[in-house]
Structure 1
Amino acid sequence: MHQRTHAASGRPEDGRLPWGKTLAFGMQHILTMYGGLIAPPLIIGTAAGLGTAEIGMLISAALFVSGLATLLQTLGLPFFGSQLPLVQGVSFAGVATMVTIVNGGGGLPAVFGAVMVSAAIGLLVTPFFAHIIRFFPPVVTGTVVTVIGLSLMPVAVRWAMGGNMRAADWGAPGNIGLAAFTLAVVLLLNRVGGRAVARVAVLLAMVIGTLAAMLAGKTHFGALPAGELLALPHPFAFGWPVFELPAILSMLLIVLVLLTETTAGLMAVGEIVGTPVDGRRIANGLRADMLSSALSPVFNSFPQSSFAQNIGLVALTGVKSRFVVSAGGLILVLLGVVPALGVIVAAIPLPVLGGAGVVLFGSVAASGIRTLAKVEYKDNMNLVVVATAIAFGMIPIVMPTFYDRFPSWVGTLLHSGISASCLAALLLNLLFNATRPAAVVASRSSLPPG
């Protein structure tokens, strides 16, 4: 059955599917981003010296808050939420900064205080970011979407190798073979299956890959946790937030990076879905991002941002309904409050996720290349803009230590290939095309009608 046509709004993202398919596609989204979602609380909790049970509490809180943030982003409230198929999760961008705050003696309370204040300030500056939409013609958006896909490929490769560089089986042929098997299943299902099978090919491949890992003895479903069936997050379980000025200032820079990355994510998913994304929609999406981030410490979690991994899933499957992602948000909430469900999902081996991630993240890059193919390159500087911005975005990907000897704020701003390419493409387009109206118009005219 094809995606039901939206009747009133005329927007692809407002289409609805039967409940069964909605939940299946929603679960596919969650399995795609689960590994990336639990990594930040795991790293920060370890740095804070927490025990296994307390780290588990941080992970459950991350799932719970990310689910609520996803529901806000996809369903929306007045002035909050882009109503686009965008999954929200704990951002990896601020992990290094939050670990520094923890190690500085402030502990988790100082982290939570810094997140609350910096996100509240970010909420106030969202109108500024919403007004820069006119500076994002296809030459910029296509470049950024391409780099989003490329910047995610190292994640897929690390997953395929096992996920933990210190583990004995890091890069073992068995891990890579499991990833290759999962990738082969994704490709096979897309090749021989019908349209309905192709849309859930990633989900089916993860199930088959996990079963293969069980037969090979590489994973097992551990004993279900004893205790409460429901474990609701306790507000301020690690103490009341502490507000330290240096910590707040360092997190403010992270908030600016998150605003930049979320703006890029909103525009990327808009391109893939084929729906107009104007300044008002950008502002609503950013406000949802910042409100979720400001409130997340109440439930012992960290800053929220859009997950680029899931943009690839939208591109690959062609399922554009925001209600599918809303179902994924609901699943995240359940994973956060029902410990048994979290154990089941966590049993999926990282190499399985890596095999699926290769084609997912490649789909994002392919979408960006498709947009760049529509840009006019004759008698203008667009080729230079694209070439330089992609190269600039690849620097932290191919050489993560490139900015280590620069001031810390430089590394924070440019450590992400997404934010680096976004800033480079934006500035170069302004520099080379702002004084060449014809070039800008030609570039803009290549956008498909909304």
Structure 2
Amino acid sequence: MSPTATPRPAPAAKHPVDQTLPFGKLLGAGLQHVAAMYAGVVAPPLVVGIGVGLSTAEIAFLMSASLFTAGIATLLQTIGFWKVGARLPFVNGVSFAGVAPMLAIAKAEGPDDALPVIYGAVIVAGVFGFLLAPWFCKLIRFFPPVVTGTVITLIGLSLLPVAFNWSQGGNPQAADYGDIKYIGLAAVTLLITVVLRRVLRGFLKQISILLGLVAGTLIALPLGLADFSAVADADVIGFPAPFHFGAPQFAVAAIISMIIVMIVSMTESTADVIALGQIVDKPADEKTLAAALRADGLGTALSPLFNGFAASAFAQNVGLVAITKLRSRYVVAASGGILILLGLCPFLASVVSLVPQPVLGGVGLALFGTVAASGIQTLAQAGLQRGDNVLIVAISLGIGLIPMAAPNFYHAFPESMRIILDSGISTGCVVAVLLNLAFNHIGRGSQSDTADTATTEHDTTPEMEPTPAAHGH
């Protein structure tokens, strides 16, 4: 170096979201994400396959295809390219919001044309979502802490019934649904997970959820609560051949219903992106949100090519990120790679399916409860000393919890409206945004409201400044 040369500045440290981990840790942490979301990915194709009247082998093929396409959608979201992908630790999978409309399409079209019509509608809905993303993302300015905290809390609370259902066996029609053996296995799994989280250190502590799942499954084996039939019948290698069920068909009514589903999914994804951005301490802006929604749209449009369905963010994995503190997007990218391998190897997919649903229910209670707790932490920043903001939270949570507390509440409404109303996250989100507009935007220039609204949008008062703990760290 010459005497006059100036030293180069040290490179800026990478944000934890963009840091990589050693291969072994990536694999272990990625498996943990797969275990947490596996049941959510295979459930929609299982329900749709039964509704369409597919054989057991065809349903297994449909489930493998959904794993494969979920892996592709996850890589689009975590790694991304161009303006596609939030580049956050986001798992994408099959959206359950589309199940009811797809069953309605199957009933209307008949078993022979059901899947081709469904796939045609999903392709159009995905393209629609991709094109709409740059405009839809502008909604982010209507998501101050009073709205985001409410929606994040609602996401966690709305997911808890899923954990309760798993803990009871997962099949409400079964004669032994809710048997003490199922609930006991869920409770033991949760206890083991908590103990492991408390006593382990380092990376083992971060994968305590995965270790809890393994321990719960080992306990279930001698009790006869693990089903080996899927492993015995699974092929070692299988590829989801493009358009296996026929070329896509495009029916107007089906397309409209799936576009509505896409809008609902985009609303939920908006809330999920904002929630995850806060948890990983990398708040989502319009650019990030638009990229995330493009990934949802592109993933949805590509999925039918390989016999998959609409793709959207999985909220349960947001809770896993909050618990483990593993914020690297490459961990979730690894889970995307694992999902692709599972889709190409039905035998491996069946091994993962050995995890009994009560075991998933035990850890799900912790995962989903953590999401709700993150929302409460955000609400602590939302200026709840104002009565108006308390009212926004109260009404939004109340309306958002209707589908969970009273599942048949909207039974007399038209099917097209129920697609939206039966999604408590979406209805609660819309209500929170509208109430925030009414109380904190419209007419906010009046003198009576100016003082009250000053801190609502930006939380700039010293005592309300966010802390690392408030973002789940």
TM-score of the two chains, using structure 2 as the length reference: 0.91
Structure 1 residues 227, 43: CA separation in 2 closer, same or farther (over 3 Å shift)? Answer: closer
Structure 1 residues 380, 224: CA separation in 2 closer, same or farther (over 3 Å shift)? Answer: closer
Alignment of 1:136-151 (within 5 A): 136-151=143-158
2:69 counterpart of 1:65: yes
- Where in structure 2 are there 5+ consecutive unaligned residues? 1-10, 469-473
Secondary structure of 1:166's counterpart equals coil
Alignment of 1:13-92 (within 5 A): 13-92=17-96
Give the Å deviation of 1:400: 1.2
User: What amino acid is the match of 2:246?
Assistant: G
- Spell out, residue by residue over 1:70-97, the C-alpha distance to the aligned partner (whole angstroms, 9 max, x if none): 0110011001000011100000001000
- Spell out, residue by residue over 1:368-421, the C-alpha distance to the aligned partner (whole angstroms, 9 max, x if none): 001111221234511111111111111111111111111223211121121111
Give the Å deviation of 1:440: 4.2
Q: 8 Å contact 1:160–1:176 — kept in the other structure?
A: yes
2:425 counterpart of 1:418: yes
Secondary structure of 1:319's counterpart equals coil
Counterpart-to-counterpart distance in 2, 1:117 and 1:173: 46
Secondary structure of 1:89's counterpart equals strand
Secondary structure of 2:87's counterpart equals coil
Counterpart-to-counterpart distance in 1, 2:15 and 2:178: 44
User: What amino acid is the match of 2:390?
Assistant: L
Q: Which position in structure 2 is the counterpart of 1:198?
A: 205
Give the Å deviation of 1:136: 0.7
User: What amino acid is the match of 1:376?
Assistant: G
Give the Å deviation of 1:430: 0.6
Give the Å deviation of 1:117: 1.1
**1:101 alignment partner, one of 98, 105, 110:** 105
Alignment of 1:37-436 (within 5 A): 37-105=41-109, 106-222=113-229, 224=231, 229-379=236-386, 381-434=388-441, 435=444, 436=449
- Spell out, residue by residue over 1:188-229, the C-alpha distance to the aligned partner (whole angstroms, 9 max, x if none): 112222243321111001100000000212115447457863
Counterpart-to-counterpart distance in 2, 1:386 and 1:246: 36
Q: Which position in structure 1 is the counterpart of 2:7?
A: none
Q: Which position in structure 2 is the counterpart of 1:442?
A: 455
Q: 8 Å contact 1:16–1:321 — kept in the other structure?
A: yes
Q: 8 Å contact 2:235–2:347 — kept in the other structure?
A: no
Structure 1 residues 223, 385: CA separation in 2 closer, same or farther (over 3 Å shift)? Answer: closer
Q: 8 Å contact 2:270–2:289 — kept in the other structure?
A: yes
Secondary structure of 2:309's counterpart equals coil
Secondary structure of 1:305's counterpart equals strand
User: What amino acid is the match of 1:271?
Assistant: Q
Secondary structure of 2:138's counterpart equals helix
- Spell out, residue by residue over 1:20-51, the C-alpha distance to the aligned partner (whole angstroms, 9 max, x if none): 11111110000001111100000001011000
Q: 8 Å contact 1:235–1:298 — kept in the other structure?
A: yes
User: What amino acid is the match of 1:234?
Assistant: A
Pairs aligned (count): 445
Q: Which moved more, 1:371-380 or 1:278-287?
A: 371-380
Give the Å deviation of 1:365: 0.4
Secondary structure of 1:289's counterpart equals helix
Secondary structure of 2:401's counterpart equals helix
Q: 8 Å contact 1:12–1:274 — kept in the other structure?
A: no
Q: Which position in structure 2 is the counterpart of 1:11?
A: 15
Q: Which moved more, 1:403-412 or 1:331-340?
A: 403-412
Q: Which position in structure 2 is the counterpart of 1:3?
A: none
Counterpart-to-counterpart distance in 2, 1:43 and 1:91: 12
Q: 8 Å contact 1:109–1:240 — kept in the other structure?
A: yes
Identity %: 48
Secondary structure of 1:267's counterpart equals helix
Counterpart-to-counterpart distance in 2, 1:225 and 1:34: 19
Give the Å deviation of 1:438: 4.4
Q: 8 Å contact 1:114–1:247 — kept in the other structure?
A: yes
Secondary structure of 1:442's counterpart equals coil
Counterpart-to-counterpart distance in 1, 2:152 and 2:230: 41
Give the Å deviation of 1:428: 0.5
Structure 1 residues 76, 438: CA separation in 2 closer, same or farther (over 3 Å shift)? Answer: farther
- Where in structure 1 are there 5+ consecutive unaligned residues? 1-6
Structure 1 residues 234, 379: CA separation in 2 closer, same or farther (over 3 Å shift)? Answer: closer
Q: 8 Å contact 1:80–1:284 — kept in the other structure?
A: yes
Counterpart-to-counterpart distance in 2, 1:440 and 1:346: 50
Counterpart-to-counterpart distance in 1, 2:419 and 2:235: 40
Task: Name the larger-Rg structure.
Answer: 2
Counterpart-to-counterpart distance in 1, 2:451 and 2:309: 45
